[in-house]
Structure 1
Amino acid sequence: MDKRQKKIFMLCWCAYASAYLCRTNLSIAMPKMISDFGWDKTSGGLVGSVFFWAYAIGQLINGYIGDKVKSRPFIFIALAAASIINIMVGFLSSKALLITLWGINGFLLSMLWGPIVKILSRWFPPEKNNDVAVGISTSMIGGYLISWGLVGQIMNLTTWQWAFWIPGIIVLIFSFVWLIGMSDDTEKAQLSVLSKDDYKSNPMNTQENVQFSETMSLKDIIFGSKLWLIALACIAQGVIKDGITLWGPTFLGEIKTLNPQMVAAFSLFIPIMSLFGIFFAGWLNKKMQFQEKKAIILLLAGTAISCFALYFSLKMNIYISTLFLSIASALAYGANTLLLTIIPLNFAKYNKASAVAGFLDFCSYMGAALAGVLTGYIADNLGWGMVVVMWVILALVGAVGLFITGSRNNAEKHQKVV
């Protein structure tokens, strides 16, 4: 990696980590907000769900736009506007207005992922896809660690409002760092472009049976490559990953009756383990000879097993419950890394990296949108144990969906040989 590549990668990493400062702060602030506003968990979950709905729809729209516009100003607008929204949220007392602004925040932050994947696809060759995917995915955990650590300390010393003001100010400052530091010739970089023959022989290309061209629409690619079947796993891991992210602190606080300071301390273990999950996914993918689907199936199966163990640990001590919750989060994050980064990078040749990243992220966050209000409703009415049962079922459904997709691909290969 040369100097310019390092600079581009670090700016992309910091941009996406900064985005998490402006979204995960809600998770830590949620218990105090529920208490101050007199909400039930369903109402609190609605705030998170509106964010995810807006984020999911935005991914579909902005992923497509991301292939058409310059990434540098596009991402600057997203970061600057989202930071201002966060600062405004700290001044609100109206639930309706808070939900509206948090939804706008979700749409703005959806402007980041697709263009960032496009930038990376232009600056790094395909043989680096696995390393780039693992590296950029750690930005999510970096954002969580900074946000949950920083916001957790802020919450101990001040009110929930500061959980939105401080991240907003930090991200606003960084948005100008991005604008000044990002290269103007990003769109011209073509380090990853291969010939069609090279692309077909690339062992990391999982779409080997499909002929594409740059003129094909996203719809043609989705159905031609059976990408729509991968959406099932994206939705499943989205419910689990973001369900744990949004409700993890509340979950631990309620099943063990912890004070906010203890909740913040134990919650930090979740993103730390998730970081190891991302690295584990990269290692596993290499061991599976870059057969992403098989690696994702194993990660989702492991998620189901971890959630199953979590269910039986709910009445045990806090350390055991936190461990299994963290392992489930780690494996779901690992699946997320392969689903939402490596697969879109395979479509860079056809100038569809941003659009494919947006589509898969859309599917993931539709699941996350369900996670917010559905998890809150189940927790209110059936208890946290049933929430964990839901996670087990969804992880298995995602794994089975990918297995069926792989079986169909193998059947098609056999028919072609015959």
Structure 2
Amino acid sequence: MFILPPQQMSTLVKDYPAGFRPRRGLNWFIIGLMYASYYMCRYNFRFATPGMREEFGFTTFQITGMLSAWALAYGTGQLVNGLLTDRIGGKTSLLIGAVGTITINLVFGFASFAGTFGTFAFIWLLNGYFQAYGAPGMNKINAAWFNRTERGTFAGIFGFMIQMGQFAINNLAPVLLAGFTVGTWLVASQGDWRWLFRVPPLVVAVVAVLLAIFVKETPEKAGYDGVVDDEHSAEGDTSARVSLRESFTTIFTHPLVWFYAVAYACTGAVRNSSDQLMILYFVDQLKLDLAAKPAAVFWTVNLMPLVAVLGSFGAGIISDKVFKGHRSPVAMTLYFLETVVIIIAALVIYAGLVGPSPTGIFIGCMFLILVSLTANSTHSIVGTAAPMDIGGRKMAGFASGVIDSFQYYGTAIALPLTGWLIDKYGWGVWYPTMASFGAIGGFAMLLVMRKQKRMNAEAAARAQRL
């Protein structure tokens, strides 16, 4: 049996005062539920797309245009709200986002009968902005509660909790689309996609109440002073807020943040393309009838978040324990692995092996699951752990905003382009488009590695001169 020496074991397991771990667990459990409920009010849209297309005659390009509007608003909201979060605090940010996404989803569910592209795009754009309060708020609070060598691991755990939101809507949506009654009263008829925007906001409302009551922004506010070290704060400084000017200047001029942002744009291009378009892929390419609740759809939409969790957790542990909190080596490997998987999938599709047959459906679903594994593994360490490393407890909100905004700028570029290509050339172009983004992400992380080595060498040289 391999046993770590005591000095290494101490770096893996940190001693905390009695009661700290359960209190921190309560904090991040509720925050995780909060962000999971955000996901329910985000991924409900994809299940509505077949019904919207049938009712209003939208093209794939128009559907991806609505998603692009959401992504642009979300990305810009990340920049604005991330900076604001460093001033108002993570808890307030999460609550503002919750109220906003509840309101907009209910508007979509009850007032979306106009049926124009502009109406749907504008409503979903507003949802994107309010959802953009979530990630900066979550990362800012967690940066104050976790040390650097814990953040990757717990980013993976948060990945699990967040994906529970996707798992929940994946299983709730078919139930709502099947229609339901209360006693003898027909509440929702079969295929009434508007209920997808009426029920999930109720979950957000319940969790928001729990967040308001139980979550504390810092360990100090929960009575645990000096427990978590912040490499970006002076000794004895336990505050978690900073001026807008200081946050903006520090993060915008950070030597690594823009490399991470470019890489995360590529994560968004692949992750959101596979997540948001897979329902149309099931219908158009695999010829599956969603009303029949096919087993292939059930297993795929539920295995995708499951493998995403495993990938996120594994990537976080490796970056924490093997690479001592450095994210770029793990992320680079994952981006290039993702590119290889996507290229293989593209070749298999080109060979005609994916289609409306049992074997073709299995292969098509298998590649969606593999793409989810690789894309979401980078999602946790680049989008969650890295911003906390860069910004610390004071500026993690804006660091998260800058990096995460690019995930959705990448999405805003990739989705309309992909939708137009699919309308023109068919689903065979989907995977090659995603592969190009995966390769760019890998090279961006390679540049981060080289930059970090130069920064470490310069720091060592300065230390020797002192």
Q: TM-score, normalised by structure 2?
A: 0.81
Q: Which has the higher mean CA deviation after the structures are superposed, 405-414 or 372-381?
A: 405-414
Distance in 2, Cα, partners of 1:2 & 1:274: 25
CA displacement 1:101-147 (0-9 Å, x = unmatched) = 11111111111111111111222233321222111122331111001
Aligned: 1:311 with 2:311: no
Distance in 1, Cα, partners of 2:460 & 2:92: 49
2:268 to 233, 238, 243: 238
Cα separation, partners in 2 of 1:40 and 1:195, compared to 1, 3 Å: closer
> Deviation of residue 300 (structure 1)?
0.5
SS of alignment partner, residue 88 of structure 2: coil
Tell me, yes or no, if the aligned pair for 1:41 and 1:377 is still in contact at 8 Å: yes
Tell me, yes or no, if the aligned pair for 2:257 and 2:390 is still in contact at 8 Å: no
Distance in 1, Cα, partners of 2:402 & 2:344: 32
Question: What amino acid sits opposite 1:160 in the alignment?
Answer: W
Cα separation, partners in 2 of 1:409 and 1:122, compared to 1, 3 Å: closer
Cα separation, partners in 2 of 1:183 and 1:216, compared to 1, 3 Å: closer
SS of alignment partner, residue 285 of structure 2: helix
Tell me, yes or no, if the aligned pair for 1:134 and 1:279 is still in contact at 8 Å: yes
1:291 to 311, 317, 326: 326
Tell me, yes or no, if the aligned pair for 1:126 and 1:192 is still in contact at 8 Å: no
Question: What amino acid sits opposite 1:148 in the alignment?
Answer: N
CA displacement 1:78-122 (0-9 Å, x = unmatched) = 212211211111121223222211111111111111111111122
Aligned: 1:270 with 2:304: yes
Tell me, yes or no, if the aligned pair for 1:152 and 1:264 is still in contact at 8 Å: no
Distance in 1, Cα, partners of 2:231 & 2:93: 29
Distance in 2, Cα, partners of 1:333 & 1:156: 30
Distance in 2, Cα, partners of 1:294 & 1:39: 42
1:282 to 316, 331, 336: 316
Task: Specify the alignment match of 1:209 in structure 2.
Answer: none
Aligned: 1:93 with 2:93: no
Tell me, yes or no, if the aligned pair for 1:56 and 1:361 is still in contact at 8 Å: yes
Task: Specify the alignment match of 2:3 in structure 1.
Answer: none
Aligned: 1:148 with 2:170: yes
CA displacement 1:262-318 (0-9 Å, x = unmatched) = 374233332222222212212432334433101001110111111112113333311
CA displacement 1:25-61 (0-9 Å, x = unmatched) = 0011111111111111011111111111101000001
Tell me, yes or no, if the aligned pair for 2:328 and 2:449 is still in contact at 8 Å: yes
Distance in 2, Cα, partners of 1:194 & 1:112: 22
2:376 to 327, 333, 338: 333
1:224 to 254, 269, 287: 254
Distance in 2, Cα, partners of 1:279 & 1:175: 26
Distance in 2, Cα, partners of 1:191 & 1:37: 56
Tell me, yes or no, if the aligned pair for 2:334 and 2:378 is still in contact at 8 Å: yes
Tell me, yes or no, if the aligned pair for 1:149 and 1:264 is still in contact at 8 Å: no
Cα separation, partners in 2 of 1:409 and 1:121, compared to 1, 3 Å: closer
Distance in 2, Cα, partners of 1:416 & 1:187: 31
Cα separation, partners in 2 of 1:405 and 1:308, compared to 1, 3 Å: same
> Deviation of residue 222 (structure 1)?
3.3
Task: Specify the alignment match of 1:356 in structure 2.
Answer: 399
Alignment of 1:16-415 (within 5 A): 16-91=35-110, 92-94=112-114, 95=116, 96-157=118-179, 158=190, 159-183=192-216, 188=221, 191-194=227-230, 216-260=246-290, 261-262=293-294, 264-265=297-298, 266-285=300-319, 286-314=321-349, 315-316=352-353, 317-349=360-392, 351-411=394-454
Tell me, yes or no, if the aligned pair for 2:251 and 2:391 is still in contact at 8 Å: no
| Residue ranges of structure 1 left out of the alignment (5+ in a row) | 200-212
Question: What amino acid sits opposite 1:340 in the alignment?
Answer: G
Distance in 2, Cα, partners of 1:342 & 1:146: 25
Tell me, yes or no, if the aligned pair for 2:84 and 2:244 is still in contact at 8 Å: no
Tell me, yes or no, if the aligned pair for 1:243 and 1:371 is still in contact at 8 Å: yes
Alignment coverage as a number of residue pairs:
405
> Deviation of residue 407 (structure 1)?
2.4
Distance in 1, Cα, partners of 2:100 & 2:123: 11
> Deviation of residue 187 (structure 1)?
7.7
> Deviation of residue 349 (structure 1)?
4.0
Cα separation, partners in 2 of 1:194 and 1:72, compared to 1, 3 Å: closer
> Deviation of residue 183 (structure 1)?
3.7
Tell me, yes or no, if the aligned pair for 2:261 and 2:404 is still in contact at 8 Å: no
SS of alignment partner, residue 346 of structure 1: helix
The structure that has the greater radius of gyration is: 2
Distance in 1, Cα, partners of 2:47 & 2:421: 20
> Deviation of residue 416 (structure 1)?
7.4
CA displacement 1:316-365 (0-9 Å, x = unmatched) = 31112211221112111111111111111113546111110111000111
CA displacement 1:164-215 (0-9 Å, x = unmatched) = 111122222322232233348778466433467999xxxxxxxxxxxxx998
SS of alignment partner, residue 161 of structure 1: helix
Task: Specify the alignment match of 2:182 in structure 1.
Answer: none
Q: Which has the higher mean CA deviation after the structures are superposed, 315-324 or 237-246?
A: 315-324
Distance in 2, Cα, partners of 1:243 & 1:387: 9
Distance in 2, Cα, partners of 1:126 & 1:414: 21
Distance in 2, Cα, partners of 1:292 & 1:125: 15
Cα separation, partners in 2 of 1:313 and 1:287, compared to 1, 3 Å: farther
Q: TM-score, normalised by structure 1?
A: 0.89
Tell me, yes or no, if the aligned pair for 1:134 and 1:337 is still in contact at 8 Å: yes
> Deviation of residue 392 (structure 1)?
0.9
| Residue ranges of structure 2 left out of the alignment (5+ in a row) | 1-19, 180-189, 236-242, 354-359, 462-466
Q: State the superposition RMSD in angstroms.
A: 2.5
Distance in 1, Cα, partners of 2:323 & 2:234: 21
Tell me, yes or no, if the aligned pair for 1:193 and 1:348 is still in contact at 8 Å: no
> Deviation of residue 217 (structure 1)?
4.2
